Amino acid sequence: MTTERKPPAPAFKESPSKTELSDGISQHLGRRVKHLRTERGWSLEDLANACGVSRSMLSQIERKQANPTLAVTVRIANGFGMSLGELLQIPEASTSVAVIRAEDRAFHYRSDKHVRIRTLSPLNLEKDVEFYEVQLQPDGALRSAPHFKGTREFLTVQTGQIRVESGDDSETLNPGDSANYRADVPHAIINVGPGEAVIFLVDIYG
């Protein structure tokens, strides 16, 4: 997948200060940073280049062996193209509604000339359900290896015509059609129509 990266920030001192985050938030931050980095397919070096924080510091943060300063945390958020609140998933005081904006590239799971996948569910939650918007160009296909045992996918076609394959079974779907199928076997979603296909996909893990 491709993700816009910001140029490295100037070097800075990464020593503890009075602005250190509490241990509880640091534990959450470590899990959050590792999840976001893995989601994008970035190495620690990639993230270090994007945010200007050293690879060793990022490694310590992910392993929950460091309490980063607020300045370091802000730089990591900027590297991901997020605000500090978005990185830490701090709810806004004025609303309990969490919004994922269409232009927020942090949620663009994959984007190339054939397939674009946008995550519509929060990235930080330990969850059994994942929700995606998938855009397939003509002849584009999303092919997946088996997920965890018991996983099923639920799919609805908004526009275009697609073929769903699950193991040895397949079905063709048109706008408004929905299907669910095993995703713990090799499976695929293939655009078989003349134009772009847009689908909404839900993964439910057994």
Tokens of 50: 């994007």
User: pLDDT higher for 3 or 73?
Assistant: 73
Q: Supply the DSSP string of 132-197, one letter for each residue.
A: EEEEE-TT-EEEE---STT-EEEEEEEES-EEEEETTEEEEE-TT-EEEEE-SS-EEEEE-SSS-E
Please say whether the beta carbons of 122 and 98 come within 8 A.
Answer: yes
Average pLDDT of every residue of the chain: 82
At the second CATH level, the architecture of 23-88 is: Orthogonal Bundle (1.10)
Q: Which has the closest alpha carbon to 48: 17, 83, 7, 107?
A: 7
Other beta carbons within 10 Å of 181: 18
Handedness of CA 98, 102, 106, 108 (dihedral sign): positive
What are the phi and psi torsion angles at 9 (to 5°)?
-80, 160
Q: Tell me the per-residue pLDDT of 166-191, one tens digit each, with 9 for 90 and over.
A: 999 999 999 999 999 999 999 999 99
The β-bridge partners of 171 are 164
Q: Tell me the per-residue pLDDT of 128-169, one tens digit each, with 9 for 90 and over.
A: 788 999 999 999 999 999 998 999 999 999 999 999 999 999
Query: 23-88 with 105-204: one CATH topology?
Result: no
Residue 129's Cβ-count burial label (10 Å; 0-12, 13-18, 19+) is exposed
Give the pLDDT score at 162.
Answer: 97
Separation in Å, CA 148 to CA 32, 35, 37, 152 = 22, 18, 21, 9
Q: Would you list the domain boundaries of the chain?
A: 23-88, 105-204
Instruction: Provide the CATH number for the domain formed by 105-204 in this structure.
Output: 2.60.120.10
Please say whether the beta carbons of 67 and 57 come within 8 A.
Answer: no
Look-up: residue for tokens 């929060």? 122
Confidence category of residue 3, pLDDT binned at 50, 70, 90: very low
